[in-house]
């Protein structure tokens, strides 16, 4: 193992870096903090027959300026999403978690192994508040063992090259908080805040890749208006929150999947007219059908007859192939699904397709130099604007609706009001 501290060691490292594939683990100053509220201590980089430590802010080593953008060799990195939030440019990054997860539906637990190391040195009394006092050789020994367990064969290019960068871009924006209300609701999470912001952390490693979103004790995917927790999140000065929600999103996604033309007006009202009931009852009945199964009575409605035939065909193809396949070509092996049945297959395809549409539409926002949401949750997108940005708001709305899904908008002075 070589610690890169001199020009001679830098030249040796770059010779490997520019000509070989490598495996990388970034080590942050504080394992508990978000990348945007943290500093990079060093990079552990392993090549075929030699490993290096690149110090950035570790007190065992002198920092050495080095340009890592010079190589196009494949770089397998642990937590690409977090690393993209640094200012370090590296080409051809591939995410280790993506490869491991889509290969065998497992993730190696690096965090707990590193926490054992830091806790050990904390007990010895030689660890400072940022965890930078652990001897560099001890880090190398542990990290070498972790990388040795990796079996990297394939990756899902759409998740790796499109989804991960978009989620990273959203995370780095952060959400502003009312400090008094935030600490009243989450009193033990002072470390989560940075300059009045808390940062989100999306986890796409689920069966459908529909990301969960939690950090610092806050489950952003589960916040609701009833318990007052959403009041803690506020826009920046002189701005308002604007939330766009897709209307009848899953029903319209199904329409796309089964190639059924739905009305541009309210889908739930359209179905209510066919059921012969009011709007509220219509929504309940629709959700029961979509998530519980299509009955003989439901099949009398042409839309649901076609839905039922789609589910049956999808089930037959999945059983024959051994996996579900999303519109983006991602494969969900049936072995990942506990107690598989036709309705569960259908629900998983809905969640996966929803996620693909969402990521693609946010990619369009980025490509058109339009703002990304500061928070994304399933069928809703939270932005910050001031009232003078009408033209930008219209452009954002147009992009969000570009796949044929209409949105509705709500303004508010905190997250509970949208």
- Within this chain, do residues 264 and 228 fall inside the same structural domain, yes or no? no
Q: What is the per-residue pLDDT for 137?
A: 77
Rounded CA-CA distance 262/193 in Å is 45
**Of the residues 105, 128, 153, the one at which a domain ends:** 153
Q: Which CATH number covers residue 240?
A: 3.30.70.370
Q: Are 378 and 325 part of one and the same domain?
A: no
- pLDDT by residue (tens digit) across 280-303? 899 999 989 988 889 999 999 999
Average pLDDT over residues 75-103: 92
Angle, in degrees to the nearest 10, between helices 279-292 and 302-321: 20
For residue 211, give every residue at least 6 positions away whose Cβ sits within 8 Å of its Cβ, in sequence order, or none.
167, 202, 203, 204, 355
Q: Is residue 344 part of a domain?
A: no
Residue 256 to residues 74, 150, 306, 323, 326, Cα–Cα distance (Å):
37, 39, 12, 21, 13
pLDDT at residue 119, as a whole number: 66
| Whole-number Å distance between alpha carbons of 233 and 357 | 26
CATH number at residue 43: 3.30.420.10
Query: Rounded to an integer, what distance in angstroms lies between the CA atom of residue 375 and that of residue 412?
Result: 15
What rounded mean pLDDT belongs to the chain? Answer: 90
pLDDT given at position 39: 87
Long-range contacts of 221-224 (CB under 8 A, 24+ apart): 221/377, 221/378, 223/415
Domain boundary among 315, 332, 349: 332
Shared domain for 16 and 95, answered yes or no, is: yes
Bigger pLDDT: 286 vs 103 = 286
With 90 as the cut, is the pLDDT of residue 346 above it?
A: yes
134 vs 151 pLDDT, higher one: 151
Q: What pLDDT shows up at residue 110?
A: 83
Residue 340 within a domain: no
The token pair that represents 182 in the structure block: 């935030």
Tell whether 311 is covered by a domain: yes
Span 125-141, mean pLDDT? 61
In a domain, 11, yes or no: yes
Element (H, E) at 282: helix 279-292
Structural domain contains residue 268: yes
CA-atom Rg of the chain in angstroms:
24
Residue given tokens 């209307």 in the structure block: 247
Query: Residue 30 class from Cβ within 10 Å (0-12 exposed, 13-18 middle, 19+ buried)?
Result: middle
Query: Same domain, yes or no, for 243 and 376?
Result: yes
The domain boundary, picked from 131, 153, 175, lies at 153
Q: Mean pLDDT, to the nearest integer, of 129-147?
A: 73
CB 211 within 8 A of CB 355: yes
For residues 269 and 380, membership in a common domain is answered with: no
Residue 354 lies inside a defined structural domain of this protein: no
100 or 410, which is more confident: 410
Domain that holds residue 171: 165-247+360-417
Q: Is 42 in the same domain as 136? A: yes
Both 146 and 186 in one domain: the answer is no
**Same domain? 240 vs 259:** no
338 in any annotated domain? no
77-95 burial: b if 16+ Cβ within 10 Å, else e: bbbbbbbbbbebebeebbb
Give percent of the chain above pLDDT 90: 67
pLDDT of residue 156: 77
Q: d(Cα 198, Cα 344) in Å, to the nearest integer? A: 35
**Residue 136 shares a structural domain with residue 6:** yes
d(CA 97, CA 167): 15
Q: Of the segments 92-101, 122-131, 146-155, 394-403, which one has the largest average pLDDT value?
A: 394-403
The CA-to-CA distance between both ends of the chain, in Å, stands at 54
Question: Do 243 and 254 belong to one domain?
Answer: no
Among positive and negative, which fits the CA dihedral 355, 361, 362, 366? positive
Q: How many domains does the chain have?
A: 3
The pLDDT value recorded for residue 192 is 79
Query: Does 131 share its domain with 33?
Result: yes
Q: Is the pTM for the entire model greater than 0.85?
A: yes
Residue 130: band (very low, low, confident or very high) from pLDDT cuts 50, 70, 90: very low
Average pLDDT of span 359-377: 97
Q: Report the pLDDT averaged over residues 257-268.
A: 93
Instruction: Tell me, yes or no, whether 133 lies in a domain.
Output: yes
Answer yes or no: do 111 and 190 share one domain: no
Question: 192: how many CB neighbours lie within 10 A of its CB?
Answer: 20
């Amino acid at each position: 193992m070589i610690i890169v501290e001199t020009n001679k060691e830098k030249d040796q490292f770059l010779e490997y870096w520019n000509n070989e594939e490598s495996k990388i683990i970034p080590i942050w100053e504080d394992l508990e903090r978000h990348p945007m509220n943290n500093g990079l201590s060093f990079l552990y980089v392993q090549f075929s027959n030699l490993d290096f430590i690149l110090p950035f802010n570790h007190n065992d080593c002198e920092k050495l300026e080095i340009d890592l953008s010079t190589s196009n060799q494949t770089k397998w990195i642990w937590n690409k999403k977090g690393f993209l939030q640094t200012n370090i440019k590296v080409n051809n990054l591939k995410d280790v978690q993506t490869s491991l997860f889509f290969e065998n539906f497992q993730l190696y637990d690096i965090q707990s192994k590193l926490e054992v190391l830091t806790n050990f040195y904390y007990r010895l009394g030689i660890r400072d508040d940022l965890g930078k006092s652990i001897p560099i050789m001890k880090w190398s020994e542990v990290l070498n063992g972790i990388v040795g367990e990796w079996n990297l064969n394939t990756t899902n290019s759409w998740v790796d090259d499109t989804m991960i960068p978009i989620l990273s871009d959203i995370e780095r924006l952060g959400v502003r908080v009312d400090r008094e209300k935030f600490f009243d609701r989450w009193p033990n999470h002072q470390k989560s805040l940075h300059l009045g912001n808390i940062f989100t952390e999306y986890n796409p490693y689920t069966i459908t890749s529909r990301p969960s979103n939690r950090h610092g004790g806050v489950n952003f995917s589960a916040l609701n208006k009833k318990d007052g927790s959403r009041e803690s999140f506020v826009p920046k000065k002189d701005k308002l929150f604007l939330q766009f929600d897709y209307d009848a999103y899953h029903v319209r996604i199904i329409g796309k999947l089964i190639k059924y033309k739905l009305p541009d007006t309210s889908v739930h009202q359209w179905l209510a007219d066919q059921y012969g009931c009011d709007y509220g009852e219509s929504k309940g009945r629709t959700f029961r059908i979509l998530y519980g199964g299509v009955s003989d009575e439901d099949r009398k409605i042409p839309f649901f007859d076609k839905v039922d035939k789609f589910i049956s065909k999808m089930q037959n193809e999945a059983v024959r192939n051994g996996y579900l396949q999303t519109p983006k070509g991602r494969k969900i092996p049936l072995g990942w699904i506990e107690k598989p049945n036709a309705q569960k297959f259908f629900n998983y395809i809905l969640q996966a397709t929803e996620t693909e549409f969402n990521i693609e539409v946010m990619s369009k926002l980025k490509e058109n130099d339009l703002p990304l949401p500061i928070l994304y949750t399933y069928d809703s997108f939270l932005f910050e604007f001031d009232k003078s940005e009408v033209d930008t708001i219209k452009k954002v709305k147009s992009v969000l609706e570009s796949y044929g899904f209409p949105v509705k908008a709500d303004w508010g002075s905190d997250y509970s009001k949208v």
